[in-house]
Amino acid sequence: MADLIKLLPDHVANQIAAGEVVQRPASVVKELLENAIDAGAGTIMLIVRDGGKALIQVVDDGIGMSATDARLSFERHATSKIQKAEDLFQLNTKGFRGEALASIAAIAHVEMQTKLENEELGTVLKIEGSKIISQEVGATAKGTSMAVKNLFFNIPARRNFLKSNQVELRHITDEFHRVALAHPNIAFHFHNNGSEMFNLPKSNHRQRIVNVFGTKTNQKLVPVTEETQVVKISGFINKPEFAKKSRGEQFFFVNHRFIKSPYLHHAVVAAFEGLIKPNTYPGYFLYLEVDPASIDINIHPTKTEVKFDDEHTLYAILRSTLKHSLGQFNVVPALDFEQDQNLETPYAYKDKAAQLPRVTVDSGFNPFQERESKTQNRASYRKVGTEAGKSWEGLYAGLESEIGKEVSFSSMQFESDTITGSVFDEQKESLESTSTTFQLRRKYVVTTIKSGMIVIDQSRAHQRVLYEKFLKNITIQKAVSQQLLFPLSLSFSPSDITILEDIRESLTTIGFIFSKMESETVEIKGVPVQVSESEVGMVLDQLISDFQMEISGDGFSQTDILAKTLAKTLSVKTGEILEQESQIALVNDLFACKEAMVSPFNKPVYITITENDIDKKFI
């Protein structure tokens, strides 16, 4: 029998390794930025075109490489970071596997320009699909410039799986944020399609956070500092009132490396317990410094997951540190045990006994005499004045006859309680007075049909109604907009502004009117009729969150995402009381929809309970 096992060619092995290291353009950005940081760069420039599909270029002013190092850096498992296996437990650098450049060169056109500081000329190296095209000597600047073009040019299937340019750009921006926040001592520049997105000078951690997420972020931050034998914690957390429904501004850094840790995230949420609303998440920028020997960062190809030796201790320290910071800066109410000198008992009253209060009783009090005096007073009031005094007698007519009689409450009239506010427009004329509906547990609307009854989830039903309404408005572009008396100004981070600019046209078709959209400020002068002025900020935050959560990556169009987000945000929530008219209107609107059985998120809207189902329960 012939031998079956054979060695893979190098170019095939590199392409397989690229599948682990390079998943999308953002993966290339991460590897190149980390290499620039390891090279000791003081200024790093990132240039992106067409969401990273056409070009990703990273230029740094680091130490550079010689001609031999430049050629060897593209070989598999070639690295200057480690020499032996024990070095894996004392890592202070970013890249150490030696697979990044080899994997990138296997699936893209790569051009490297590098020069050592004391050299006059540098090296220009061009590689296409792991094949070296040319290596020349050229005049280059100090440091290294890596240009990656036509990503996945030789793997069309992988290229077809990439998302739109806007989605890929958001992933690149996320990676840029993670690297820039971890290294505030390095200046970063980010250019996309010829325009500058970020210009971050060297600064401290707080100023770097403000430069990335906008000036309004400064008022949200609460400092966190703690140093123990196990870990040194620094950074900032957002105040509880700024908690969001999306997991946006949440960053963990261990030894200047961004990580994802659900276990430590739970410690942060536990510290905010009782301070934020359910289903909301606090923002944080936490920097942890631990002994490199106590963590293992080699458990995942992307190195974003780490393993701690003693997670339980770290959990307890982090949770108590955040609670201490929230109390120290008076973010949460706390008991004050300090003594106030103004409340101290004077020395002269030290030995004096307390005097009991005395209650005096008027033994000569007679309530009947008081009533008689009131009657006499009324009689005297009638005698005072001439013509003007006589006009007051009509006000007291028959008052004497009512004295001493019991008042009958059946003859009294009370003002009726008016119910203000309704989820739906009043349609009393079109509603049937004989319709039978009632609300169950402030969650379901129950109505009768010929064969039994229907139990409707009020939130999902309203989502379906609003979803089809918004979808129709966006498609036909006949939405009605209500003008605001005073323009509404909202603050967003630069990355959030980029998302709003992408969906600005769709927002305009449903009724939003933007008068200004700048780097950190959005000014709105018109909103859809269904959206109140107080809900505008919440709606836009939810929209940005949905686009960041890659809902668009599931094959949905931008219009569909927009309609779903608005329907989810503006729909009736579980726990809201609906009037009888609103219940009937909800039922009628639901069954007037094209697809009434499922919500926009493919969840059942109602169930039917037939008379036979009820009869079976009594057998």
Three-state SS across 258-274?
A: EECCHHHHHHHHHHCCC
Q: What is the CATH number of domain 10-200?
A: 3.30.565.10
**Alpha-carbon torsion, ordered 253, 255, 259, 262, to 10 deg:** -80
Whole-angstrom distance, CA of residue 70 vs CA of residue 63: 12
Counting as low any pLDDT under 50, the low residues of the chain are 377-389, 416-434, 551-555
Q: What angle do CA 78, 81, 82 make, to 5 degrees?
A: 85
Closest CA to 285 of 234, 232, 216, 218: 234
**Phi and psi of 480, rounded to 5°?**
-95, 135
Residue 308 DSSP SS3: strand
What are the start-end ranges of the H helices in 511-554? 536-548
The alpha carbon dihedral of 196, 198, 201, 202 has a sign of negative
The pLDDT score that the predictor gives to residue 334 is 56
DSSP state of 344: S
Residue 115 DSSP SS3: strand
The answer to whether 69 and 78 have CB atoms below 8 angstroms apart is no
**Phi and psi of 94, rounded to 5°?**
-85, -70
Residue 614 Cα distances to 180, 352, 450, 452, angstroms: 63, 78, 14, 9
Closest CA to 145 of 112, 119, 189, 183: 112
Whole-angstrom distance, CA of residue 166 vs CA of residue 499: 8
Per DSSP, what are the bridge partners of residue 452?
449, 610
The strand pair at 187-192 and 43-49 is best described as parallel
Residue 536 DSSP SS3: helix
The answer to whether 168 and 48 have CB atoms below 8 angstroms apart is no
Secondary structure tally for the chain: helices H, strands E: 19, 22
DSSP state of 246: S
Question: For the chain, what are the domain ranges?
Answer: 10-200, 205-328, 437-608
In sequence order, what are the residues at sequence separation of 6 or more whose Cβ sits closer than 8 angstroms to the Cβ of residue 479? 473, 509, 510, 511, 528
The alpha carbon dihedral of 564, 569, 574, 578 has a sign of negative
Residue 440 Cα distances to 444, 477, 516, 568, angstroms: 5, 37, 45, 21
Residue 115 Cα distances to 43, 44, 112, 119, 471, angstroms: 16, 16, 10, 7, 56
The answer to whether 89 and 185 have CB atoms below 8 angstroms apart is no
Residue 77 CB neighbour total at 10 angstroms: 9
**Phi and psi of 275, rounded to 5°?**
-105, -20
| Region of residue 555 (left: phi > 0; alpha: psi -120 to 50; beta: else) | left
Residue 313 Cα distances to 118, 229, 234, angstroms: 48, 11, 17
Q: What is the CATH number of domain 205-328?
A: 3.30.230.10
The pLDDT score that the predictor gives to residue 408 is 54
In sequence order, what are the residues at sequence separation of 6 or more whose Cβ sits closer than 8 angstroms to the Cβ of residue 111? 124, 125, 126, 127, 146, 147, 149
Residue 398 Cα distances to 336, 386, 401, 402, 421, angstroms: 62, 21, 5, 7, 43
Closest CA to 450 of 612, 570, 259: 612
The strand pair at 284-289 and 250-254 is best described as parallel
Closest CA to 110 of 209, 167, 31: 31
The answer to whether 523 and 488 have CB atoms below 8 angstroms apart is yes
Which residue reads 């056409």 in tokens? Answer: 54
The pLDDT score that the predictor gives to residue 506 is 80
Is domain 437-608 given the CATH code 3.30.1370.100 in the classification?
yes
The pLDDT score that the predictor gives to residue 405 is 53
Closest CA to 402 of 432, 427, 375, 425: 375
Q: How many CA atoms lie within 13 A of 249 on its CB side?
A: 26
The pLDDT score that the predictor gives to residue 123 is 94
Whole-angstrom distance, CA of residue 322 vs CA of residue 275: 12
Per DSSP, what are the bridge partners of residue 58?
46, 146
Helix (H) or strand (E) holding 381: helix 367-383
Helix (H) or strand (E) holding 55: strand 55-60
Whole-angstrom distance, CA of residue 545 vs CA of residue 540: 9
